[in-house]
Amino acid sequence: MINKDEYLLHISRYIHLNPDKYREWQFSSLPYYLGNMSADWVMPDRITELFGEDNYLEFLADYEDYKKMLDEVKGQLANSL
């Protein structure tokens, strides 16, 4: 259950950063969050109210290096078993 804004933001960021080339991934909902596309079934308003469209992309980009480092650590741990 998502009951805090901080957790909502984390989950949203996790989902959008999951593909390696998340900015170009054709199945991503990111364009909806950035205001480039719209559909009745995609409801990014709660996130964009917290950030704004431009700041949300910055929020994702700020975490990219940290995510890469975590992925490397996971890979090293998995290979050491």
2-53: pLDDT as tens digits: 899 889 988 999 999 988 888 999 999 999 999 899 999 999 998 888 876 6
In the chain, domain spans: 5-80
Read off the amino acid at residue 53: E
pLDDT at 12: 92
Measure the CA–CA gap between 14 and 52, rounded to whole angstroms.
Answer: 18
pLDDT at 81: 65
Give Cα separations from 42 to 7, 56, 68 (angstroms).
19, 16, 28
pTM for the structure as a whole: 0.75
Measure the CA–CA gap between 50 and 63, rounded to whole angstroms.
Answer: 17
pLDDT at 69: 84
Q: How confident is the model at residue 74 (pLDDT cuts 50, 70, 90)?
A: confident
CA proximity to 59, closest of 14, 27, 4, 19: 14
Residue 44 contacts residue 34 (beta carbons within 8 Å):
no
